[in-house]
Structure 1
Amino acid sequence: MIIKLVFGNNFVQYISCSTKVGRKMNYIQDDFLNWIFDEEKNKEYWTLENGERIHPNYDSTALVDWLNNVRFKRGKANAKLITNPQLPGKKNLYF
């Protein structure tokens, strides 16, 4: 399933994942946001200033990484970034 991710300011990216995962993305999005804003669990996707974490800095790469390596460790998601989608997204998520 192709999912359109809208980050605001006309910044749009697309990911592909299994249909089973894609159908649940509205619910999964909340879990992702909780993870991305948790300084203890997410250490990679933060903006640093003077060595301190200021705020999360993420795009679809972070969501794909989280789906494949945190949420569905056993290969259920198989999510990937799509640079030039041939079909429109079946679902839109807004961040």
Structure 2
Amino acid sequence: MILKIDFGNDFIQYISCSTKVGRKMNSIQEDFLNWIFDEKKNTKYWALDYGERIPNYDANAIIDWLNNVRFKKGIAKAKLITSPQFKIKKKLYY
């Protein structure tokens, strides 16, 4: 399944994942946001902005979370794609 991830400001990326994972993305989006904003669980995607630490993420962070946190035991692996060859099945906004 191809997911279009819109981060705003004309920054759009695409993820390829299993249909099973893609169908759950709306319901697990909040779980991802809780993970990315938890500095105790995740420091890889944090950056300094004028001396303040803030989350700084893109589709690679979502892929990392899907593959290594949420579905680490499953076979539903997600990957970044540059230009979708198939129809986009779902749009998500972050």
Q: Give the TM-score category using the shorter length.
A: over 0.9
- In the superposition, the TM-score normalised over structure 2's length comes to 0.92
TM-score (structure 1 length as normaliser):
0.91
What percentage of aligned pairs have identical amino acids? 68
Partner of 2:15: 15
* Offset, 1:53: 5.8
Checking the alignment, whether the CA contact within 8 Å between 1:46 and 1:53 is kept in structure 2 is no
Partner residue of 1:25?
Answer: 25
Residue 50 (structure 2) pairs with residue 82 (structure 1): no
Q: What is the SS of the residue equivalent to 1:31?
A: helix
Displaced runs of 4+ in structure 1, greater than 6 A? Answer: none
Letter in 2 for 1:2: I
> Which sections of structure 1, spanning at least 5 residues, go unmatched?
none
Give the aligned partner of residue 37 of structure 2. Answer: 37
Structure 2 residue matching 1:87: 3-state secondary structure: coil
Q: Distance in 2 between matches of 1:79 and 1:33?
A: 17
- Computed over aligned residues only, the root mean square deviation of the Cα atoms, in angstroms, reads 1.5
